[in-house]
Amino acid sequence: MNVLRHGIECYFTKEQTARIAAMRVGIAGAGGLGSNCAQMLVRSGFEQLVVADFDVVEPGNLNRQFFFPDQLGQPKVHALRDNLLRLNPDLKLDVFNGRIDAVNAREVFSGCGVIVEAFDRAECKKMLAEIFYNSGCFYVSASGLGGWGDSDALTIRRIHDRFYLVGDNVTEADTHAPPCAPRVHIAAAKQADLVLAHALGDI
């Protein structure tokens, strides 16, 4: 028995769980946004994920990312795969340990009806948005989630009917507004919630 799936069926109908489980979601980045969004999606019943990242787990990641001290030095996508499979061992989970760019993005996320942008750098966010803006995919991006406090400023903007942006669009994470767990997790949760609402036909 798949314990997580059994638990999820306490809250959703069989039709809803089937719709969620059938949706293939691509996540570009496995850091604060991507790793936490991924775990929330898995806890919501999503079973088909493609996660891409080139980085390794470092001590500075542990304050907000879904990793553990014994995973330091591991590629993030491999560590995240292990953690997600602990939640649901039946996941259909593909990982890409490398950089996403304008050349390979479509191939890496081939077959994904949903794309979650979880990059750190503005130029990478812009690149991915340009590729998928009119692709027909349901696209969720994030911008402005550094620092702490004023969490109500993290809002959802509808760019068009299949493109949404989460964040305050101001406080990028840097030395003056460091990436802290509360605001990062709120933004990741909002991204996951948008994907869930889309899967259930609400948006």
Per-residue pLDDT band for 173 (boundaries 50, 70, 90) equals low
Output the average pLDDT for the chain. Answer: 95
Cα→Cα distances 69→57, 66, 72, 74, 170, Å? 9, 10, 6, 10, 31
| Res 128 pLDDT > 90 | yes
In the chain, the percentage of residues whose pLDDT exceeds 70 is: 97
Question: What single string gives the DSSP state of each residue in 140-173?
Answer: EEE----BSS-GGG-EEEEEETTEEEEE-SS--S
pLDDT per position as a tens digit, 66-108: 999 999 999 999 999 999 999 999 999 999 999 999 999 999 9
- Specify the length of the chain in residues: 203
Structure pTM?
0.96
DSSP assignment letter at 52: E
Structural domains of the chain ordered from first start: 3-199 (3.40.50.720)
Euclidean distance between CA atoms 127 and 132, whole angstroms: 9
